[in-house]
Amino acid sequence: MKYNSVFDIIGPIMIGPSSSHTAGAAIIGRLARSVFGRMPKIADIHLYGSFAETYKGHATDVAIVGGLLDFDTNDERIPQSLHLAREAGMEVAFHTEEAVPEHPNTTMIHLEDEHGSMEIIGVSIGGGKVEITELNGFKLKLNGMYPAILVLHDDRFGVISGVTNILTKHRVNIGHMEVSRKEKGKMALMVIEVDQNLQDSILDEIRGLEHVTQVTRMSP
C-alpha cells in the first residue's frame, strides 16, 4: 500500500498552493538535506514532467529550496526561501528537463560543498507523499516515513551481516532493508529503515567496519 496513515490523506498542514508541487517538493528537499547532512553550498535542481511545466506557478522551486534549508512543510519562511538561501550562501540553479520520467513529478537534486557532493532523485506521488528513488546512481525506494541509515560499501560477502550484527547488539529493529549495486563486485548501497533514530555512536561503529566507505542517515 502506498499510503499507510490517515494523516497522509488529512494533512499535511502546509503552506500552499500544492501538496504535490509545494509540500511534496519541500519534503524531498528536506530529505536531500538530511542525507547530505549539512547546508550545501551548491544546489543544482533538475525538474521533470509536470514539475518542469508548472514549477513557477506552484512555487516548486521555492519549496525545494525551503526543504534544503531544513524547513518543514508548514514553515511560514518557505515563500522567502530563495532569498534566505542566497543570504545563507547557497548557490541555487534550476534546470527544466525535456525527458519524460516514470512519474510526472520528479526532481533530481545535486548538492555540493567543499567536502563532497551527492545526487538524489525524488518523486512526489500526491497529497504530500514522496519517494526517494535514487541516490548517487543507486536505485532505492524510501518514503521518508521512518528513519533510515544508508551504508555505502564494497560489494563483498559479510558486510551486510556485519552491519546487522551491530544493530542487533543495540537492539535496533529493522523495518525494511534493501541492497543495490551498479555493478557486481564494485560498490553497493545498503538501505535500512529502522524504528527509531540511531545515536551517532552506533553509526560510528558501522563506519569502523571493514569495506564500509560511508554511512549517512535520513531522518523524517
Partner 1 sequence: MFKNVAELVEKAESQGISIAEVMIRQEMEISEASREAVRERMGRNLDVMEQSVAKGLAGVKSLSGLTGGDAVLMQQYIAKGKTLSGPFILDAVSKAVATNEVNAAMGMICATPTAGSAGVVPGTLFAVRETLNPTRDQMIDFLFTSGAFGFIVANNASVSGAAGGCQAEVGSATGMAAAALVELGGGTPEQSAHGMAIALKNLLGLVCDPVAGLVEVPCVKRNAMGAAVAMVAADMALAGIKSRIPADEVIEAMYRIGQVMPSALRETARGGLAATPTGKKLERQIFGEKK
Which residues here bind partner 1, judged by CB under 8 A? 1-23, 49-50, 53-59, 74, 76, 78-79, 103-105, 124-128
Which residues, including other chains, have CB under 8 Å from residue 14's CB and lie 6 or more apart?
Answer: 22, 23, 26, 73, 74, 128
User: How many residues are present in the chain?
Assistant: 220
Cell digits for 66?
Answer: 525551503
Which residues, including other chains, have CB under 8 Å from residue 206's CB and lie 6 or more apart?
Answer: 149, 151, 163, 166, 212, 215
**Closest distance of CB 46 from partner 1, Å:** 17
**Closest distance of CB 28 from partner 1, Å:** 14
**Closest distance of CB 121 from partner 1, Å:** 16
- Output 36 or 48, the one with its CB closest to partner 1: 48
- Cα dihedral 141, 48, 82, 35 in deg (nearest 10): 20
Give the dihedral sign, CA 151/130/85/50.
positive
Residue 25 sits at φ, ψ, to 5 deg, of: -65, -40
Verify cis geometry, omega within 30 degrees of 0, for the bond prior to 220.
Answer: no
Which residues, including other chains, have CB under 8 Å from residue 91's CB and lie 6 or more apart?
Answer: 41, 42, 43
- Output 127 or 162, the one with its CB closest to partner 1: 127
Q: Which residues face 113 on adjacent strands? A: 116
- Output 70 or 195, the one with its CB closest to partner 1: 195
- Output 151 or 193, the one with its CB closest to partner 1: 193
CB atoms within 10 A of CB 4: 10
**Closest distance of CB 96 from partner 1, Å:** 9
**Closest distance of CB 204 from partner 1, Å:** 29
**Closest distance of CB 47 from partner 1, Å:** 12
- Output 17 or 137, the one with its CB closest to partner 1: 17
